[in-house]
């Protein structure tokens, strides 16, 4: 009979063995299916460990276009799978949890975009990659948080409709004051949920800390930031800075890659409380990756005509980002 601490050790050993068994099944299925797994930093650490590549939204889109394997598993939310399929339509793209969706992607409609186009002919429509294929098809160019400022600045038009994220849109407008930016009304419940009070409490308690924030945060929260960037850019800055303490204002999922990338630097990473978590990304567990590979389930299928139009703004983003 196993008791007390022994029972705990036994349970941990069993959990580790089960985790390793799933990881081994995924490795076998990847070979069998000729599959590549791409993961976002917000999915659980065990899923990131199984992935062939982990990245921010821009890196995942750019990589997806170049994958030559038959199957791409996109361990992330629905719009990421759609982007991969749009950019590499000859591959089978699987979403381990097709119902894991980004609420912000649905916070603007095609009708709203068309109404603004009618009222303001000549306006350029910029859509955040966190959007549906239909919204992409109604837009002129896509952006991610890593390139939005540079792409908006590079556009020839002086009037911009930015959808759906009002926080990223406002941040872009502030960085590119020469343009007139009209914002959508969407927001990320995770980033917009970070309270300025929780950030100020951390900053007061750790006055030497560098504050790294995602531009999906509110204006009041960004006012506290020393650095603003995408998840990859936050991780890059965390490793590059000499600061020993870091206040990180994005979803806690980045902790895994931060630990890996900044290993041995002895940095302390602090999150506002409650630590931001994305419940949709959290659903993408190793078991779901294994099941989708085994069953070839969760395939992304897009109407051909819609896909043809929705691909253009994504390709334009990749093109503009490459030229900068
Ligand atoms: P990035 O990883 O591109 O910064 O995006 C963050 C995010 O919220 C994805 O949904
Ligand atoms: Fe959407 Fe926010 Fe989750 Fe990213 S973190 S997928 S923007 S809800």
Domains and CATH numbers, the chain: 2-101+283-295 (3.40.50.10800), 104-188+305-323 (3.40.50.10800), 194-275 (3.40.50.10800)
pTM of the model: 0.95
Mutate to test the pocket of ligand 1, among 57, 80, 215, 258 (most ligand atoms within 8 A of CB): 57
Mutate to test the pocket of ligand 2, among 41, 80, 103, 214 (most ligand atoms within 8 A of CB): 103
Residue 102 alpha carbon, nearest atom of ligand 1 = 10
**Cα 56 to averaged position of ligand 1 atoms, centre (Å):** 6
- In this model, does residue 134 exceed pLDDT 70? yes
In tens, the pLDDT along 106-116 reads: 999 999 999 99
- In this model, does residue 309 exceed pLDDT 80? yes
Report phi then psi at 265, rounded to 5.
-90, -10
Q: Which of 269, 145, 276 lies closest to 198 in space, CA to CA?
A: 276
In tens, the pLDDT along 50-102 reads: 999 999 999 999 999 999 999 999 999 999 999 999 999 999 999 999 999 99
The predicted structure's pLDDT at residue 3: 67
**Cα 99 to averaged position of ligand 1 atoms, centre (Å):** 18
* Cβ(311) – ligand 1 distance below 6 Å: no
Q: Ligand 2: which residues within 6 Å by Cβ?
A: 42, 77, 102-104, 130, 188-190, 216, 251, 278, 280-281
Residue with token string 């960037």: 229
d(CA 125, CA 76): 25
Beta bridge partners of 93: 72
Q: Looking at per-residue confidence, does 232 or 3 come out higher?
A: 232
Q: CA quadruple 316, 48, 104, 189: dihedral positive or negative?
A: negative
Indicate the burial class of 175 (C-beta count within 10 angstroms; 0-12, 13-18, 19 or more): middle
d(CA 297, CA 90): 17
């Amino acid at each position: 009979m196993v008791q007390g601490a022994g029972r705990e050790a036994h349970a941990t050993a069993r959990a580790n063995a089960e985790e390793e068994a799933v990881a081994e099944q995924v490795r076998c299925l990847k070979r069998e299916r000729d599959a590549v797994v791409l993961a976002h930093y917000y999915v659980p650490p065990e899923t990131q460990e199984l992935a062939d590549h982990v990245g921010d939204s821009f890196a995942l889109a750019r990589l997806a276009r170049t994958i030559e394997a038959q199957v791409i598993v996109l361990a992330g939310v629905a719009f990421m799978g759609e982007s991969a399929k749009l950019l590499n339509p000859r591959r089978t793209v699987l979403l381990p949890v097709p119902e894991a969706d980004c609420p912000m992607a649905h916070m603007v409609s095609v009708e709203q975009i068309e109404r603004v186009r009618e009222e303001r002919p000549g306006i350029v429509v910029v859509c955040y990659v966190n959007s549906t294929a239909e919204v992409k098809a109604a837009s002129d160019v896509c952006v991610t948080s890593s390139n939005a400022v540079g792409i908006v600045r590079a556009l020839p038009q002086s009037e911009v409709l930015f959808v759906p994220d009002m926080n990223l849109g406002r941040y872009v407008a502030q960085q590119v004051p020469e343009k007139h930016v009209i914002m959508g009304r969407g927001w990320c419940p995770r980033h917009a949920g970070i309270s300025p009070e929780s950030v100020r409490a951390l900053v007061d308690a750790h006055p030497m800390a560098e504050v790294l924030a995602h531009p999906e945060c509110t204006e009041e929260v960004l006012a506290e930031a020393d650095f603003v960037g995408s998840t990859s850019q936050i991780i890059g800055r965390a490793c590059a800075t000499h600061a020993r303490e870091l206040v990180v204002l994005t979803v806690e999922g980045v902790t895994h890659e931060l630990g890996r990338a900044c290993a041995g630097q002895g940095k302390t990473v602090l999150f506002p409380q409650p630590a931001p978590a994305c419940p949709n990304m959290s659903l993408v567990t190793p078991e779901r990756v294994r099941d989708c590979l085994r069953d070839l389930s969760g395939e992304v299928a897009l109407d051909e005509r819609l896909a043809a139009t929705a691909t253009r703004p994504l390709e334009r983003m990749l093109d503009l980002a490459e030229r900068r």
